[in-house]
Amino acid sequence: MATIPNALPDVRRVQRRTLALLSAAQILSAIGTGATVSIGSLLAVDLSGTEAWAGSAATVMTLAAALTALPLASLAERKGRRIGLVTGLLAALAGALLIILAVISGWLLLLLLGTAGVGVGSASNLQARFAAVDLADADHRGRSLSVVVWAITIGAVAGPNLIQPGAVVGQALGLPPIAGPFVISSAGLVLSCLLLVTALRPDPLLLARALAATPGEPVTEDAQETMPGGVGNAAPTGNTLMRGLRAVRGSRPAILALTAIVAAHAVMVGVMSMTPVHLQALVTGASATHSSHVAGTDALVIIGFTISLHIAGMFALSPLMGWLTDKIGRAGTMSLGCALLVLAVGVAGVGQGQAAAVATGLVLLGLGWSATTISGSTLLAESVAMPDRVVVQGVSDTAMGAAGAIGGAISGPVLAAAGYAGLNVAAGVVAAGVLAAAVFFTARSRTGVRA
């Protein structure tokens, strides 16, 4: 990236403000996603009358996030980060309102449409991490990205705990109690949109383009529209997916980064999604002397505790992973992340007969995902040319979504055929392959990109 000495003080100030705004917006908007994940399955069963539809809300939300990642990236490429992020959050707001209508009307279709809208919002939240590095200098990109990722933790934790306060809000408004959490989510999304529309100025992506085009010159946002590299001169869209893939193929660091991000997500989702099934069977078998009701209660407590620890591993230490990304390098932190994934599946697989060992493995799995995703996203953001950067980030998020869907889909048959230990062995092979590639890249890298 070209140096811009005369503008550095202003850029640093804008970057600090951008990080604060993005983090606040993430906290407000992620509440809606967390509420949908935790309550959506309950609503699907209630509205459909059968447990067969229990997973429909989560499936629709995941697919919507994967399918809209590229369109949102293309919009951001043409119009800037602010427009791209707000568009996704407006879709989530519409989705939350549709879910409220679904509760009132009893229509399952409205619920699924609503969860699709929330899925678009989750894609927007995912892309906010890239907005955090548009103006970041090379020594702080990892930390900048990780701060925004960490902010998701608050919404992810708060969302599932909105049932009680939401019920109070719902009753006060004359709505069914279960609709109340989505009223709170809607309010958070409105505040998030207002915050981004009014305060995310200058737009970090447009300012970064303008500064890259005119090194050494402070640039106002009004000038960005007409300057080379501004919104009016963004790269042509063409076939967005193919253009993004071509850009990745042209950069070995980008190939490594994308591969690591996708593989880590597939490993994490594959193992995590089957762990509740394994723990249910484990606790039920271990509690054969007790009644089935006690065994079921024990299983739910252990499953909930284990998944909570896993989520904490994914997000709570994000700032540490960002610091490591900047201190020991992108590929070095990626290697650490993949090593943690290998260790995680080893601990969970070997200790499959003990709930404590499985929980430990899930914590390590979350930490490995965090280190790999943050370092990989940082490396990807700086390994392609500015005109292709946003669309490549959209390709990354789409690939992550697809990898998660595939990992979740095939993990069930693998569990049935090879057991929980076999599932962890398969996941370990994938993680070990990426680990070998990251170590090789670290040792042999001769590129100008910091790795």
Q: What is the pLDDT of residue 9?
A: 43
The more confidently predicted of residues 410 and 53 is 410
**Is the residue at 92 inside a domain?**
yes
163 and 122 part of one domain: yes
CA distances for 186 relative to 104, 155, 159, 213, 423, angstroms = 16, 13, 12, 39, 39
- Of 207, 234, 261, which residue is a domain's last? 234
425 and 335 part of one domain: yes
User: Mind listing the pLDDT tens digit for each residue in 129-180?
Assistant: 999 999 999 899 999 999 998 887 776 666 666 777 888 898 899 999 888 8
CA distances for 105 relative to 30, 37, 46, 101, 195, angstroms = 26, 21, 12, 6, 32
348 and 230 part of one domain: no
Q: What is the pLDDT of residue 230?
A: 41
Which segment of 119-133, 260-274, 299-313, 336-350 scores lowest on mean pLDDT? 299-313
Count the domains in the chain: 2
142 and 270 part of one domain: no
284 and 426 part of one domain: yes
The model's pTM: 0.81
H-helix or E-strand spanning residue 449: none
The more confidently predicted of residues 278 and 36 is 278
What are the CB-based long-range contacts (under 8 Å, 24+) for 400-403?
400/66, 400/126, 400/261, 400/262, 400/265, 401/62, 401/63, 401/65, 401/66, 401/67, 401/69, 401/123, 402/66, 403/262, 403/263, 403/265, 403/266, 403/269
266 and 322 part of one domain: yes
Residue 6 pLDDT class (50, 70, 90 cuts): very low
Q: For residue 117, is pLDDT > 70?
A: yes
Range of the domain at 19: 5-234
54 and 203 part of one domain: yes
Residue 293 pLDDT class (50, 70, 90 cuts): very low
**Is the residue at 151 inside a domain?**
yes
**Average pLDDT of the residues in 405-409:** 82
The more confidently predicted of residues 313 and 50 is 313
**Is the residue at 380 inside a domain?**
yes
Q: For residue 225, is pLDDT > 70?
A: no
Residue 265 pLDDT class (50, 70, 90 cuts): very high
Q: For residue 87, is pLDDT > 90?
A: yes
Q: What is the pLDDT of residue 154?
A: 72
- Of 182, 207, 234, which residue is a domain's last? 234
User: Mind listing the pLDDT tens digit for each residue in 359-383?
Assistant: 999 999 999 999 999 999 999 999 9
**CA dihedral sign of residues 343, 345, 349, 353:** positive
Residue 226 pLDDT class (50, 70, 90 cuts): very low
Q: What percent of the chain has pLDDT over 70?
A: 84
**Is the residue at 147 inside a domain?**
yes
224 and 364 part of one domain: no
- Of 234, 264, 293, which residue is a domain's last? 234
CA distance 92 to 332: 36
**Is the residue at 265 inside a domain?**
yes
Q: Where are the alpha helices (DSSP H) in 106-179?
A: 108-131, 141-158, 163-172
**Is the residue at 240 inside a domain?**
no
**Average pLDDT of the residues in 71-86:** 95
Which segment of 150-154, 279-283, 295-299 scores lowest on mean pLDDT? 295-299
230 and 251 part of one domain: no
The CATH number linked to 80 is 1.20.1250.20
When the pLDDT of each residue in the chain is averaged and rounded to a whole number, the result is 84
Q: For residue 4, is pLDDT > 50?
A: no
357 and 287 part of one domain: yes
331 and 271 part of one domain: yes
Q: What is the pLDDT of residue 50?
A: 79
Q: For residue 298, is pLDDT > 80?
A: no
85 and 40 part of one domain: yes
**Is the residue at 316 inside a domain?**
yes
